[in-house]
Structure 1
């Protein structure tokens, strides 16, 4: 039997992105402010998947996802993400059956601050080798370890880390 998560990985990736944005929008709705704005890049050459603004803070967010129990211990991040206002990475975990999201891992600066420098992190390599098996370096991509991320159990905790708390 083919694993749906493997066979339809692009579909799942887009679905998880929509669920993530939906969770933030739902939080904004239930808080009564309805102020979150969402935009998508036409071209993806700086490493972010979505732009979200709330509480006067614009975040360029690279989304990563792993299922509960997955063995992934690092993520690849584009160095150009650090040139974007409040660039950050959100690594969300999900349940394989229900697609319930959480916890959320976050790598980034405080609201309004740039991504901490990743220039000194390990340079990533291509996942597939050439005909001789050589895996070339990807000079604009760095590997971040799971320990580099801060864990937030709920979308409301993540929202506070992303956009701060209103006074």
Structure 2
């Protein structure tokens, strides 16, 4: 029996698929933590709910500024070639359903950018298209079964988000004007 070193080297490409669930959770927690911090800095309290499974099309629910966002998270390693993503049709049944695509660095497992698929706060998700997805694995008949509750959405339908601040605005609207500036004309 051999012992592994206590210090782990940077994540290697061969391990990415083996640790995909952990990587997705790490990215989710980092994003949610940053969103909470941004909302608190704007003076907006928020509530975060995590689903046990993504059966209903979302991974996390965040409520802030009177808006409830059901969010499906997708990820792609920086420089990855995946150009389409499976989005649950049930997400469109939620009042402000949306999806966030997180690009991430394979060495640090940290987000490097975001893309947003959704509408303005309070508005339902637009039509996802009619391209039904298939399972990634073969079934007993050696075919890939259809997944009627999911649509394949090209990356081009996601808005490229410049910063986390822009993402917060896309999710919950612009930051409120501080009370001390309310009604006061600001010189430019």
- Which of residues 26, 29, 34 in structure 2 aligns to 1:15? 26
- Per-residue CA deviation, residues 54-92 of structure 1 (Å, 9 max, x unaligned), is 111110000001111111101001111100120000001
Q: Indicate conservation of the 8 Å contact 1:121/1:144, yes or no.
A: no
Q: Distance in 1 between matches of 2:55 and 2:144?
A: 21
Q: Structure 1 unaligned runs (5+)? A: none
Q: Distance in 2 between matches of 1:153 and 1:133?
A: 43
Partner residue in 2 for 1:157? 166
Which runs of structure 1 show a deviation greater than 3 angstroms over 4 or more consecutive aligned residues?
none
Q: Please show how residues 1-167 of structure 1 align to structure 2 within 5 Å.
A: 3-31=14-42, 33-118=43-128, 120-165=129-174, 166-167=176-177
The structure whose Rg is larger is: 2
Q: Structure 2 unaligned runs (5+)? A: 1-11, 178-188
How much does 1:41 deviate? 2.3
SS in 2 for 1:3: helix
Q: Distance in 1 between matches of 2:124 and 2:18?
A: 36
Q: Distance in 1 between matches of 2:141 and 2:55?
A: 28
Alignment size in residue pairs:
165
- Per-residue CA deviation, residues 39-60 of structure 1 (Å, 9 max, x unaligned), is 1124532110000011111100
